[in-house]
Amino acid sequence: MQLSQVSYLRKLGALAVVISLTLVVASCGDDPAAPVPPINSAPGAPGIDTTAGAPADEAVSVPTATTLHWTCTDPDGDSLNYTVHLGTDAAPVAVSNDQTASSFTPASLSDNTLYYWQIVAKDPDGETTASPVWSFTTEGVIPGVETISTPNTPAGPVTGEVGESLAFSVTGSTSSEGHAVEYQINWGGVVSTSFISGSNANYTWDMAGTYEVTAIARCATHPDIISTTSSALTVTITEPVVETISTPNSLDGPTTGAVDVSLYYLLSGAESSLGHDVEYQVDWGDSGASLWSSAATRYHYWSIPGTYEVVVQARCADHPDVESAWSAAITVVISIPAEQINTPGIGTAAPTGGVGDLLEYAAYSGNSNLGHATELQFDWGDGTYSDWGPKDGLHYIRSHAWAAAGTYQISVQARCIEHPESVSEWSTPYSVEILATESVSTPILSTEGERTYTVGTYLGGIRGMLSVSSMGHDVQYQFDVNGTLSEWVDNYLYTLPTDVPIDYYIKAHARCAVHTDVVSDWSETTLIHIVE
């Protein structure tokens, strides 16, 4: 068998001593002696490892689902194999041979039964050492005798703080007679004053330390029948950590502003020593502190000019009574700004018109930065101006007629009604072309020349198209069908009946919808044959 490294070195040393002695003897002229083999020691006796969970010798009420553990060392440091003996006979039989693990879990154990077990350790040279024969008795029901099974290990937190109420539960006990059970908890030196019928309990420790929490159970009907003590739950109690909130940074934002103008600020820097979320409040220096909020941005405006010292404070969002110190202040100077009127613009306008036509224009904007009411006026580009007037809703609307043909640049200006000296710039000029005379172009019929259709054919209407006013006005159309004139219509569609055979001679002309005396020439005549 192969030796462990430690055993091999130890035995190699012994061999070196023998060889040395042999050489000395040989130097004296005697015959060399045969080498002495290394000396091997048997393993130490195995012992029960109860700390790993093995039942102590002669233990009772041992769960049927248990694991055997043992410890063993070899004087030579050799690796060891183990044979496990287990059974109900005082000389138990081997149930596992030459295993290397120092634990063994039986496949099944019977209730309320006395078992014997023994461990035999063997080193690589075949030397063996047997442990004593140990015993334990499993838990179980004895006919006619009520028993209460051992509770499970109490369940609950394994850490907490002094003064903190911690919740625990105990389960797992049953009566062999099916009776209800009650539990009593040992809190690590302090035993509950009474048994509880439920499985939940709270406890508060008043001193820091490590506590072994165990439980016992009893029959609710026969209180003198009590279980064995459960395994312990180790609970570590520490002094409570005092939470602190670091002082926030000074507000990050503008230090000057104008009355009634909202300014934007950033809040930062505050942290909870326990990692909790924080909230901020700001004292703006004008009306006390703001509401608490977790938002890291704030807006504020001041209604009175002056110099304000602004500070910020933080607190724990979970524990609102834990607050930071106030930050260093920033100084914000609020003044009344010079009034400015923004430049208005022309929104709705007619680009062309005729001499004497009354054309309508709309202007927008022209507002005061102080929120004051404003009024506007037009410069018509011909040396005349509209009256100053307020906007009607969003727009300032005025009309004007030019007395002479030409191209005019119109613009609009605004001013504060309360402070007329506060005037805007003139708007970008808008070009208007005023024509001396208007003309309307001759329309074109959608169907020209000569066409033949059978009775009942749907023609879809004859259209007059492409007629326009030189001043951009809307146009109207009139049709001449076989010498009969239609009414003037805004659209350009004329429908012909096709229910009988007939010849249609059709033409159209157009006129300005504003200046109805401005009429175009007649279009070419179209001949439509309706035949059988």
- Residues 121-168 have pLDDT tens digits of 999 999 999 999 999 998 876 666 889 999 999 999 999 999 999 999
Task: With a cut of 60, say whether residue 101 has pLDDT above it.
Answer: yes
> Which pLDDT score is estimated for 338?
84
Q: Compute the distance between CA of residue 107 and CA of residue 111 in angstroms, rounded to an integer.
A: 14
If pLDDT is split at 50, 70 and 90, which confidence band does 450 have?
confident
Per DSSP (E only), the strands in 421-486 are: 430-435, 444-445, 450-454, 462-465, 475-481, 484-485
Beta bridge partners of 481: 484, 506
Give the burial class of 479: count Cβ atoms within 10 A of its Cβ; 0-12 exposed, 13-18 middle, 19 or more buried: buried
Tell which wins on pLDDT, 68 or 433: 68
Tell which wins on pLDDT, 199 or 406: 406
Average pLDDT over every residue of 79-107: 95
Task: With a cut of 90, say whether residue 364 has pLDDT above it.
Answer: yes
- Residues 217-233 have pLDDT tens digits of 999 999 999 999 999 99
Average pLDDT over every residue of 389-407: 91
Radius of gyration of the chain (CA): 55
> Which pLDDT score is estimated for 61?
84
Average pLDDT over every residue of 212-221: 93
Task: With a cut of 90, say whether residue 328 has pLDDT above it.
Answer: yes
3-state SS, residue 495: coil
At 353, which helix (H) or strand (E)? Answer: strand 352-354
3-state SS, residue 9: helix
3-state SS, residue 25: helix
> Which pLDDT score is estimated for 21?
33
Cα-based angle 35, 41, 44 (whole degrees, multiple of 5): 175
> Which pLDDT score is estimated for 472?
81
Question: What are the structure tokens assigned to 247, written together?
Answer: 């002082």
Inter-CA distances, 68 with 90, 94, 96, 167, 208, Å: 17, 14, 12, 33, 36
Task: Name the DSSP letter for residue 280.
Answer: E
Task: With a cut of 70, say whether residue 177 has pLDDT above it.
Answer: yes
Phi first, then psi: give them for residue 5, nearest 5 degrees.
-65, -40
Task: With a cut of 90, say whether residue 420 has pLDDT above it.
Answer: yes
Sequence spans of domains, the chain? 1-35, 47-138, 159-238, 256-335, 345-435, 444-531
Inter-CA distances, 374 with 259, 309, 343, Å: 19, 35, 12
- CATH fold, domain 444-531, is Immunoglobulin-like (2.60.40)
> Which pLDDT score is estimated for 36?
65
Q: How confident is the prediction for the chain on average, in pLDDT?
A: 87
If pLDDT is split at 50, 70 and 90, which confidence band does 496 have?
confident
Contact at 8 Å (CB) between 85 and 119? yes
Average pLDDT over every residue of 283-309: 92
CATH of domain 345-435: 2.60.40.10
Q: Which residues contact 349 (CB under 8 A, 6 or more apart)?
A: 359, 361, 362, 410, 430, 432
Question: What are the structure tokens assigned to 170, written together?
Answer: 């105990």
> Which pLDDT score is estimated for 37?
67
Nearest CA to 38 among 78, 72, 81? 78
If pLDDT is split at 50, 70 and 90, which confidence band does 281 have?
very high
Nearest CA to 118 among 50, 52, 68? 68
Average pLDDT over every residue of 454-461: 82
Contact at 8 Å (CB) between 420 and 489? no
Neighbouring CB atoms inside 10 A of 476's CB total 20
Beta strands 430-435; 352-354: pairing state? parallel
Nearest CA to 125 among 185, 60, 75, 89? 75
Say how many residues make up the chain: 532
Task: With a cut of 60, say whether residue 466 has pLDDT above it.
Answer: yes
Task: With a cut of 70, say whether residue 3 has pLDDT above it.
Answer: no
Contact at 8 Å (CB) between 471 and 402? no
Inter-CA distances, 493 with 198, 240, 487, 516, Å: 93, 92, 12, 19
- Residues 372-387 have pLDDT tens digits of 999 999 999 999 999 9
Q: What single string gives the DSSP state of each residue in 284-339?
A: -SSSSB---B--SEEEE--SS-EEEEEEEEEEESSSTT-B-PPPPPEEEEEEPPPP
Nearest CA to 160 among 192, 199, 208? 208
3-state SS, residue 255: coil
If pLDDT is split at 50, 70 and 90, which confidence band does 258 have?
confident
At 419, which helix (H) or strand (E)? Answer: none
> Which pLDDT score is estimated for 386?
95
CATH of domain 159-238: 2.60.40.10
Beta strands 297-300; 263-266: pairing state? antiparallel
Task: Name the CATH superfamily, with its identifier, for domain 256-335.
Answer: Immunoglobulins (2.60.40.10)
Task: With a cut of 90, say whether residue 25 has pLDDT above it.
Answer: no
Sheet of 359-364, strand order: 345-348, 359-364, 395-400
> Which pLDDT score is estimated for 259?
86
Contact at 8 Å (CB) between 296 and 266? yes
Q: Which of 20-29, 37-46, 156-165, 388-397 has the lowest mean pLDDT?
A: 20-29
Q: Compute the distance between CA of residue 361 and CA of residue 374 in angstroms, rounded to an integer.
A: 18
Beta bridge partners of 304: none
Q: Which of 189-193, 293-297, 390-394 has the lowest mean pLDDT?
A: 189-193
Tell which wins on pLDDT, 11 or 258: 258
Average pLDDT over every residue of 61-83: 93
Task: With a cut of 60, say whether residue 7 has pLDDT above it.
Answer: no
Task: With a cut of 80, say whether residue 2 has pLDDT above it.
Answer: no
> Which pLDDT score is estimated for 451?
84
Inter-CA distances, 179 with 149, 195, 200, 215, 216, Å: 12, 15, 19, 18, 16
Q: Which of 5-9, 119-123, 288-292, 486-490 has the lowest mean pLDDT?
A: 5-9
Amino acid at position 393, single letter: G
Q: Compute the distance between CA of residue 42 and CA of residue 15 in angstroms, rounded to an integer.
A: 19
If pLDDT is split at 50, 70 and 90, which confidence band does 26 have?
very low
Q: Does domain 47-138 have CATH number 3.30.70.870?
A: no
Residues 118, 121, 122, 123: what is their CA dihedral angle, to the nearest 10 degrees?
180
Neighbouring CB atoms inside 10 A of 54's CB total 23
* Same fold: 159-238 with 345-435: yes
